[in-house]
Structure 1
Amino acid sequence: MHPSVTFLNFDYTYTWQRNLLHFPHEWIEMDDIKGTNLYCDDGAMQEIEKRLACRHTRGITLIGSGNYHYVSYALLKQFREPFTLVLFDHHTDMNEQTLFPLLSCGSWVLYAQKHVPTLKHVVIIGSATSQTFSHVTIFPKSNFMYAPMTIVRAIPTKHIYISIDKDVLRPQDAQTNWDQGTMSLRSLITYVDYLFRFKHVLGVDICGEDRLFGAKNEKANEMIIRACFKHMPVSSAS
């Protein structure tokens, strides 16, 4: 990973988070692609992947609203080594799409399990459900903090990918357009720190923006980015 940020402009939410532009970054326009809000059709996904392929670095990807969380699926497809998806999310994003069998923000994890052969396991932290899924370990939302090493030990692979939807956080620390969990930002930062210390992180993405609450989300984004960057050698940037 490189200590840089890629902004994906689906919904203009990052135009209100100017402090984040102090990080080394690149900006990729996505707002002109049709068929992307909540659901993503095949043509839209092909165009998204085409634009992602033009990135100069692979660091932290900021996706925008949780409505576009399915972009994580496109980011997972690039990895060739066996890895575990570590997902911080108030939802499992493993809903079966029967009426509209399209990739969506609510089904992308299940989609990735079916179509990304190097994805070997999923660990979900902060979910509102403790439902059982195949090759998935869930740490449901709780009023107490799970021991970070308990989560690390639940990961069967050396390599991991971290995906963070800020709806896992309590409203005091972030505000999203979806119902939210109870995790504190301090707890999330602690988990991220342990994951970087004990696993090889292939990539990170963050979503869960809401234009009406940009200042609060900007602060959360900045803290998460800094927590990741401190584990990335500056010399690796390009």
Structure 2
Amino acid sequence: MHPSVTFLNFDDTYTWQRNLLRFPHEWIDMYDIKGTNLYCDDQAIREIESRLTRRYTRGITFIGSGNYHYVSYVLLKQLHEPFTLVLFDHHTDMNEQTLFPLLSCGSWVSYAQKHVPALKHIVIIGSATSHVSSCVTIFPKSDMMYAPMTIVRAIPTKHIYISIDKDVLRPQDAQTNWDQGTMPLQTLVTYIDHLYRYKHVLGVDICGEDVSFCAKNEKANEAIIRACFKHISISSAS
């Protein structure tokens, strides 16, 4: 994983987060693609995939509002090593849409289960829904911190991909356009630290922006970047 940042500009939320733009980064405009808000039609997904394949580096990808979290599915399709998706999210994003089976911010995890062969397991942390199956392990939202190694031990693969929707965080630390969880930012940073220490991270993406709360979200985004870059720099130097 490369120590760089890619901003996907669907909604202009990152133009107001000036401190983030100080990190080495690549900017990819997506705002002109029609059919992307909440749901993504086939033509839109093909265009998003085309623009993502032209990226120079693959490190941390910022997606924008949680309305576009389905882009994680596109990013997962690019992975080939067997991996576990580690999802920090107040929602499972596993809604089955049988009537109109469009890819959406609420169904992308189910899409990944069906269409990403390298995806072997899913661990969801902070969800309002509690459910455990042979393919999905959920640590539901709680006012108590789960022991980081408990989460690490729930991951059966060496490789992982981390996807973060900031709606998992308490409103004091981030503000999104969806209902939110109770996780403190420092707890999230601690989990990231342990995941990097004990697993091989193939990539990270982050969403959950709200243009009305850019300053608060920018601080959370910066903390997440620094938590990841600390380990990327160490592994790159070794």
Paired position in structure 2 for 1:22: 22
Kindly indicate whether residue 103 of structure 2 is the aligned counterpart of residue 103 of structure 1: yes
Kindly indicate whether residue 177 of structure 2 is the aligned counterpart of residue 161 of structure 1: no
What TM-score, normalized by structure 1, do the two folds share? 0.98
Deviation for aligned residue 1:234:
7.5
97-106 or 215-224, which deviates more: 97-106
Paired position in structure 2 for 1:47: 47
227-236 or 90-99, which deviates more: 227-236
Paired position in structure 1 for 2:203: 203
Letter matched to residue 169 of structure 2: L
Percent identity, please.
84
- Contact 2:81/2:118, CA 8 A, preserved across alignment: yes
CA distance in structure 2 between the aligned counterparts of 1:232 and 1:206, rounded to whole angstroms: 17
- Contact 2:90/2:181, CA 8 A, preserved across alignment: yes
Paired position in structure 2 for 1:12: 12
1:173 is paired with a residue whose SS is coil
Kindly indicate whether residue 98 of structure 2 is the aligned counterpart of residue 87 of structure 1: no
Instruction: Give deviations 1:106-147, integer Å, cap 9, x for gaps.
Output: 000000000000000000000000034450000000010000
1:232 is paired with a residue whose SS is helix
Q: Structure 1 unaligned runs (5+)?
A: none
Deviation for aligned residue 1:52:
0.3
Letter matched to residue 221 of structure 2: N
- Contact 1:96/1:107, CA 8 A, preserved across alignment: yes
Instruction: Give deviations 1:129-170, integer Å, cap 9, x for gaps.
Output: 003445000000001000000000000000000000000000
Instruction: Give deviations 1:48-77, integer Å, cap 9, x for gaps.
Output: 000000100000000000000000000001
Deviation for aligned residue 1:28:
0.1
- Contact 2:131/2:137, CA 8 A, preserved across alignment: no
- Contact 1:166/1:206, CA 8 A, preserved across alignment: yes
Letter matched to residue 113 of structure 2: Q
2:47 is paired with a residue whose SS is helix
Kindly indicate whether residue 174 of structure 2 is the aligned counterpart of residue 192 of structure 1: no
Residues 198 and 204 of structure 1: CA distance in aligned 2, closer, same or farther (over 3 Å)? same
Paired position in structure 1 for 2:123: 123
CA distance in structure 2 between the aligned counterparts of 1:39 and 1:133, rounded to whole angstroms: 27
- Contact 1:169/1:184, CA 8 A, preserved across alignment: yes
Deviation for aligned residue 1:236:
5.0
- Contact 1:3/1:234, CA 8 A, preserved across alignment: no
Deviation for aligned residue 1:100:
1.6
Residues 197 and 42 of structure 1: CA distance in aligned 2, closer, same or farther (over 3 Å)? same
Deviation for aligned residue 1:98:
1.8
Q: Structure 2 unaligned runs (5+)?
A: none
Letter matched to residue 168 of structure 1: V
CA distance in structure 1 between the aligned counterparts of 2:57 and 2:233, rounded to whole angstroms: 14
Residues 235 and 158 of structure 1: CA distance in aligned 2, closer, same or farther (over 3 Å)? closer
Paired position in structure 1 for 2:144: 144
CA distance in structure 2 between the aligned counterparts of 1:28 and 1:65, rounded to whole angstroms: 15
2:231 is paired with a residue whose SS is coil
2:232 is paired with a residue whose SS is coil
Give the number of aligned pairs: 237
Letter matched to residue 176 of structure 1: T
Instruction: Give deviations 1:7-56, integer Å, cap 9, x for gaps.
Output: 00000000110100110000000000000000001110000000000100
